Amino acid sequence: MECSQEFGKSVDFDISVDFGKSADLGKSGNTDFNCSQEFHRSQEFGRDRTLSTQGSSSEDDRDLDGGGRSPSSSRRPKVKTPASKRQQQQPTSINDLCPVTGFHSNILNDYYIFPAILGKGHYGCVRECMHRRTKQFYAVKSIEKAKIGRLDHLQREVYLLSKIDHKGIMKMVDIFEDVEFVHIITEKYVGGELFDKIIERTTDNGCFDEVSAATIVKSLLEAVAYLHRNGIVHRDIKPENILFVTEDDEDLSVKLIDFGLSRRHKKGDAYMSNPVGTAYYMSPELLKGKYDQSCDVWSTGIVAYILLCGYPPFNGDADPDIFDAIKQASFGFPSQAWGHISPEAKDFIKCLLRKDPKKRFTAEEALKHPWIRNLDYYYAQQQQSRNKSREELLNVMRNLKQASIHY
């Protein structure tokens, strides 16, 4: 992995980053096209429109392991402390200062943190960091605890990340907690947000081609299916929470990130009731306060729709207007952007955006839909074509060699 620009300069690796004085780096929103400009205006379908219940104490957000007890209680599951923590466990009073992990640790002992901010949210920011011993580069999400209404939500995020291991999901590497911050170290993905790619690619005639869109959606569905099999619901699936692994435009490998609104929920559990998430991606039953894991499949269907045309199926000038459109669950495929899209793609989206969650596809069922399964055939044909071209080239070279010998 390449060093950041700051690493090329003279750097004092003993200087601490001042986490409280971070420059705010905004995104430039491109609205030079006509496909539902309201959707793209000033990042309003971005993180700033995420609806969470940090100050809420609703029953459905109190359990971490299905037992109905608060993660902040004395019986909360312990987050496994990474090997980099060499400090002994502090006296019990340290739990008051470091309630998320139960340990006080200094991230700067093990990592150098670069000053430049890669991303910024309500509760903290993301920077590049480097492990001092291995010289490996990672990303660090530094969360200011004072800005979080309920630290048990943060503890739940950390706990779930420590349990998750899937190729399509962000991997947590390490965690540190001091009096003011929780620092979550993860693998670094340099390809940027899917959100930005959508903005970049959208025209009046659509956005991603079908093969690219299906490839991204398949990876996302595999991640969602994994979460649901393991009794986890994400609740905030959207393009901003999907990162490309590399900067190579041909590489469509993506990772699902940001588990701040995730929680334990298995099939058969009592319905969740807290209406959390981001307006454009919330399902009808979630808005009514009675929902289950299928809300993630709905959100994936919204992402698939946007990937193909560049705008959402349910839109409005403000959140209440968007919610009204979602509750009606009536959407179409305008001919300008959808005229060239296959019937299989449209059917796939319809299966994921069924208003009744009992009739909606599960993530596993969605992976078996022809629009997704046809990818295997497409890539097999592509590989055969490559092999054929390679064989033809070898034949040409053999013929040239024989002609040379004959001469």
Per-residue model confidence as pLDDT tens digits over 225-235: 999 999 999 99
State whether 208 and 89 are in the same domain.
Answer: no
Final residue of a structural domain among 186, 220, 247: 186
For the question of whether the overall pTM of this predicted structure is more than 0.85, the answer is: no
Banded pLDDT at 400 (limits 50, 70, 90): low
* CB 371, CB 342: distance < 8 Å: yes
Amino acid in the structure at residue 92: T
**HSE-up (13 A, CA, CB side) for residue 267:** 10
Pick 337 or 1 by higher pLDDT.
337
Residue 29 lies inside a defined structural domain of this protein: yes
To which residue do tokens 């659509």 refer?
206
* Confidence (pLDDT) at 26: 35
Residue 145 lies inside a defined structural domain of this protein: yes
State whether 138 and 207 are in the same domain.
Answer: no
State whether 344 and 212 are in the same domain.
Answer: yes
Domain containing 124 equals 15-186
Banded pLDDT at 75 (limits 50, 70, 90): very low
* Confidence (pLDDT) at 96: 77
Q: What is the distance between the alpha carbons of residues 267 and 250, in angstroms, rounded to a whole number?
A: 37
Q: What is the distance between the alpha carbons of residues 253 and 262, in angstroms, rounded to a whole number?
A: 22
Degrees (nearest 5) of the Cα angle 131, 135, 138?
55
Residue 382 lies inside a defined structural domain of this protein: no
236 given a catalytic annotation = yes
CATH code, domain carrying 32: 3.30.200.20
Residue 73 has pLDDT above 60, yes or no: no
Residue 57 has pLDDT above 70, yes or no: no
Distances (CA, A) of 61 to 52, 93, 270, 289, 357: 11, 26, 12, 13, 21
State whether 243 and 310 are in the same domain.
Answer: yes
Banded pLDDT at 166 (limits 50, 70, 90): very high
CATH code, domain carrying 339: 1.10.510.10
Residue 22 has pLDDT above 60, yes or no: no
Residue 145 has pLDDT above 70, yes or no: yes
Residue 19 lies inside a defined structural domain of this protein: yes
Arithmetic mean of pLDDT, 100-129 = 92
Q: What is the distance between the alpha carbons of residues 298 and 350, in angstroms, rounded to a whole number?
A: 10
Q: Which residues of 175-194 are buried (b: 16+ CB within 10 A; e: fewer)?
A: bbbbeebbbbbbbbbbbebb
Total of domains in the chain: 2
Arithmetic mean of pLDDT, 293-313 = 98
Q: What is the distance between the alpha carbons of residues 177 and 142, in angstroms, rounded to a whole number?
A: 9
Final residue of a structural domain among 135, 154, 186: 186
State whether 285 and 180 are in the same domain.
Answer: no
Q: What is the distance between the alpha carbons of residues 182 and 140, in angstroms, rounded to a whole number?
A: 10
Residue 6 lies inside a defined structural domain of this protein: no
State whether 149 and 200 are in the same domain.
Answer: no
Distances (CA, A) of 45 to 23, 280, 312, 319, 325: 22, 7, 10, 10, 15
Banded pLDDT at 44 (limits 50, 70, 90): very low
User: Over the stretch 235-257, which tens digit does the pLDDT of each residue have?
Assistant: 999 999 999 999 998 899 999 99
Arithmetic mean of pLDDT, 263-272 = 93
Q: Which of 60, 152, 236, 296 is catalytic?
A: 236
State whether 227 and 354 are in the same domain.
Answer: yes
Amino acid in the structure at residue 139: A
Residue 5 has pLDDT above 70, yes or no: no
What does pLDDT average to over the chain?
Answer: 80
Arithmetic mean of pLDDT, 335-342 = 95
Banded pLDDT at 388 (limits 50, 70, 90): low
State whether 146 and 241 are in the same domain.
Answer: no
Final residue of a structural domain among 186, 206, 231: 186
